[in-house]
Amino acid sequence: MIDRSLPGRETSYGNAGVLSDSSVYVFNNPSLIRALPVLLLNRSNGLRYNPLFVMKRIGWIIRFIFHCRPSHVRHAAKSLRALLLLSLDQHKKWIKDAGVGHLLRQGGGWLKLFRSKKGFAKYGAEMNMMRDVGVNFTVFEREKIRQIEPGLSSIYYKGVLMDETCSVSSPVDLTDAYVGMFVAAGGVIERAVVNGLDRDDDGWQVKCETGGPRRSNDVVLAAGAWSAEIAGWLGYNIPMAWERGYHLHFDPGKEPLLSRPILDVEGGFSVAPMRDGLRVTSGVELNDRDAPPNFEQITASAELAGEAIALDRQVEDTPWMGRRPTLVDSLPMIGPAPRHDGLWFNFGHHHLGLSMAPGSALLLGSLINGDLTPIDPLPFRISRFLV
């Protein structure tokens, strides 16, 4: 494994730690079309955009919106559910094998919260889809929300608890534990910046900024938001954009800690209890991958979160930023690259890369080895697009 940094220090470092079985309703669904007039005002905390980026990537935006049709939303829900279930099962096994059971929060679920009757009513379509694909969830009234999460104020009208969703208290500790297992099994981690990929009669050459080319018969490209650029070196045109997101930690003070991650759907932010404090994460910022960070959205998220739960001292001075790699149909690419033998893609996991990582690895491993695949690989095939 070649990484320019320690593994798990980019987007995988700062997520909300949710190991989801329930996130089956893709963001590009019919309600997005109805919400467009409001979203275009660029004032929603859940979604902000840089107009210049949107103009530059208008092709990506149109293709993303094109996938809002009900038939695709149903197809995506079934495909994501299969990958999420496979992944959650494998996470539990690996967490046990790695001896880091203390990181796993199992049985508490993931609580989505609604401030208004109107906001909850809009969530009906997602609940129907979750029911259709077998997700278990429970709806809670205002009082019951406070019973299960006494640290929350009474601003929430309804809550939907994803009963079987799990979470971890430190995504980076989980990555380190998995890296430990990889090394114990004979894997080698090398820290280097990859700057070229070439194939000759002897197989692949992975070129790096330092040292000679590393040779291999097979190469897996799994570089998150940087994958499209790297695939582009070989002529692939990957329909990817970056949904940037931020986090900040707060000391919970004397209030009772949250016992599970929460998502304020109308507020457009999450709060997750983490090793380093209460982690507030922001929604989506559509912007150039490498544009300077803009902390407005996370600042607003922290203010809104303060209405829901007591946040004491801010732990770090500067918010963290990550880049969710998102393809136009909100499904990852897992499988063989169409025009190059021995090149494999595994990226595009948007809001669910922590949740879907183990299943993606199992699926890709079986494809590389020519084994029976654990789930249907077709929804994730690269050739669904003309790349």
Ligand X SMILES: Cc1cc2nc3c(=O)[nH]c(=O)nc-3n(C[C@H](O)[C@H](O)[C@H](O)COP(=O)(O)OP(=O)(O)OC[C@H]3O[C@@H](n4cnc5c(N)ncnc54)[C@H](O)[C@@H]3O)c2cc1C
**Using the rule CB under 6 A, is 380 a contact of ligand X?**
no
Q: Hey, is 33 helix, strand or coil?
A: helix
Interaction between residue 11 and ligand X (CB under 6 A): yes
Q: Cα-flanking dihedrals φ and ψ of residue 9, to 5°?
A: -105, 5
Q: How far is the CB of 372 from ligand X (least distance, A)?
A: 25
Q: Which is nearer to ligand X, 69 or 104 (CB)?
A: 104
Per CB under 6 A, the segment of 51-59, 304-312, 317-325, 363-371 that binds ligand X is 317-325
Considering only 239, 322, 335, 336, the residue that binds ligand X (CB under 6 A) is 322
- The alpha carbon dihedral of 216, 218, 220, 221 has a sign of positive
Q: Looking at 10-18, 137-145, 151-159, 211-219, which segment touches ligand X (CB under 6 A)?
A: 10-18
CB 288 within 8 A of CB 241: no
Pick the closer one to ligand X by CB: 89 or 146: 89
| Displacement of CA 222 from its chain's centroid (Å) | 14
Binds ligand X by CB under 6 A, chosen from 76, 324, 363, 380:
324
Nearer to ligand X, 158 or 244 (CB): 244
Q: Which is nearer to ligand X, 157 or 303 (CB)?
A: 303
Site string for ligand X, 113-152 (x = CB under 6 A): ----------------------------------------
**Assigned token pair, 9:** 């220090």
Judged by CB under 6 A, the chain residues 345 through 374 that form the site for ligand X are 347, 349-355
Residues from 223 through 282 that contact ligand X (CB under 6 A): 223-226, 245, 247, 281
Vertex 323: Cα angle to 320 and 326 (nearest 5): 155
Of 52, 58, 193, 291, the one binding ligand X (CB under 6 A) is: 193
- CB 127, CB 162: distance < 8 Å: no
CA distance 211 to 207: 8
Among 18, 26, 100, 387, contact with ligand X (rule: CB under 6 A): 18
Instruction: Kindly tell me which of 10 and 329 has the beta carbon lying closer to ligand X.
Output: 10
Give the nearer residue to ligand X in terms of CB position, either 7 or 336.
7
Q: Which stretch binds ligand X (CB under 6 A): 3-11, 133-141, 144-152, 302-310?
A: 3-11
DSSP string, 152-184: B-TT-SEEEEETT-EEES-HHHHHHHHHHHHHH
In whole angstroms, give the CA distance from residue 274 to residue 260. 10
- Could you count the other beta carbons within 10 Å of the beta carbon of residue 370? 7
| Rounded least distance, CB 74 to ligand X, Å | 22
Looking at the Cβ atoms of 130 and 372, the one nearer to ligand X is: 130
Is residue 264 within 8 A of residue 305, CB to CB? The reply is yes
Rounded CA separation 339/120 (Å): 46
* Shortest Å, Cβ 154 to ligand X: 26
Q: Give the total of residues touching ligand X (CB under 6 A).
A: 35
Residue of 9, 316, 294, 59 whose CA lies nearest to 176: 9
Query: Which listed range, 7-15, 33-41, 62-70, 137-145, lies at the site for ligand X (CB under 6 A)?
Result: 7-15
- Please report how the helices 353-369 and 70-97 are oriented relative to each other, as an axis angle in degrees rounded to 10: 90
Interaction between residue 174 and ligand X (CB under 6 A): no
| Closest CB 270 distance from ligand X, rounded Å | 7
Give every CB contact of residue 68 below 8 A, 6+ residues apart in sequence: 28, 29, 30, 32, 33
**Residue 3 three-state SS:** strand
Residues that bind ligand X (CB under 6 A): 2-5, 7, 9-12, 15-18, 20, 193-194, 222-226, 245, 247, 281, 322, 324-325, 347, 349-355
